[in-house]
Structure formats: structure tokens, C-alpha cells
Amino acid sequence: MLDYEIKNLKEQYKTVTGVDEAGRGAWAGPVVVAAVTLPVDFQDKRINDSKKLTHKKRKELFEYIKKVAIDYKIVVVGQDYDSKYNPKQISKEGMKEAINNLEKLGGIVITDYEKIDLENINQINLVKGDGIAISVGAASILAKYFRDSLMEEYSFKHPEYKWDQNKGYGTKSHQEALLKFGVTELHRKHSNNIAWSNFARSSFWGFSINFYFIIL
């Protein structure tokens, strides 16, 4: 069970906000960031690092977390990066955007390792935080399930890249498809010299994705 908050923060804070991202290392598709505010004593043994859960379980917990959270925000970062940005910087800016758009911010913010430039907001940066703190684990589930669902939708347009399976990451099948078919508008120009055009496409969620867009 992820119990960092209840063991270490219960005496100081009533609420906590966890932040995490998905897709930073992918070759195609957006980076998705989620921020989730929970009671500091919230516990649920089903919540874990999203990478350790099945897609079916993530879907179930995605809906559950949205219901039990005090507040949450999901940010899709779909910028056509230029050379002054890298995926780490982009994900940190997305985290900042998600936190700043919460209506109910926790008494303290916990991130999965990354230190965010926040004014007058206490934060803890935990190595492998999504496997230690339940608020970060919850954020990781929202971010990963949302991003995976987007990539499955984009796979209908570009089935040859098998994004429904590899979610845009640099698998052998993805590399082979790039060599055979070239790049798409969803490929990132910072990844292995891949060049892509402006990324702004509508999804089944009903939104157009640009640099920052608060989705939920």
C-alpha cells in the first residue's frame, strides 16, 4: 500500500496534491500531466504506480479517482517543440500548469522526483514517488490512462504505427514503421531527429490539443 502521506504528513496537513506525467519518453503523441488532490489520510490498496497495473484496472481506477478526489486536473502538452525545449522541461511546465489550475490545492505538493518552479507552495520531490505516495500514484493513473486512450484513438488514423500497442514509444515495430512510412504530424522532432508539423488534432474527447489545454 502507498502510505507515504499518512506516515509522514498527517500531523502537518489535511490535504495533499500529487503530480505525475505520462509519455515523456515517447517518440509520438503528447505528454500528459495529472494533478490530484486527496485527503492526507486517504488510503486504497488498489492504487499503485500506473505502470504496474493492467489497462483494465487503470480504466476502473481512472473513473474511481475522479469521483473520490477533492480536485484534479489533466493537462495535455502537445507542443511542436523547438530546440530550446526538451521533454523534461515540457513535462515540468505541464505539472506547473496542472497545479496552478486546481481550484483546491493540497497543503503540500508531492511530485515524482521533479522539482517544479512554484511560488509559495511547499513541495516534496520523491524518487519513484508513484510507487510510494498514493497521491502521486493516483496522478500517474489519470495521466497514463488518459494518454493511452488518446494514442489508441490516434492509431485509427495511423494504424501502421501500432500506437494502440506501443503508445508512441520507440519499439521495434514503431521504428520499422518509421523507416517504411516516414513521420506523421504526431511525431516529435526532438526524438532521434524526427521532424513533425504542428500538432493540433481533435480527439474523441472533443478537444483540440495545442501547447497547454486543461482537459478535466
Instruction: Report CA-CA distances (Å) from 7 to 88, 132, 153, 202.
Output: 30, 11, 40, 43
**Does 63 count as an annotated binding residue?**
no
Dist CA 94 CA 187 (whole Å)? 19
The span from the first CA to the last CA of the chain, in angstroms, equals: 27
Dist CA 58 CA 79 (whole Å)? 26
**In Å, how far from its chain's centre is CA 5?**
21
* Residue 30 in grid coordinates: 503528447
Dist CA 149 CA 113 (whole Å)? 25
Q: Which residues contact 138 (CB under 8 A, 6 or more apart)?
A: 18, 36, 38, 47, 61, 65, 69
**Does 152 count as an annotated binding residue?**
no
Partners of 74 in the β-ladder: 34
By the 10 Å C-beta count (0-12 exposed, 13-18 middle, 19+ buried), 215 is classed as: middle
**Does 20 count as an annotated binding residue?**
yes
* Residue 90 in grid coordinates: 515540457
Q: What phi and psi values does residue 191 have, to the nearest 5 degrees?
A: -95, 110
Query: Which residues belong to the annotated binding site?
Result: 20-21, 112
Binding positions for a divalent metal cation are 20-21, 112
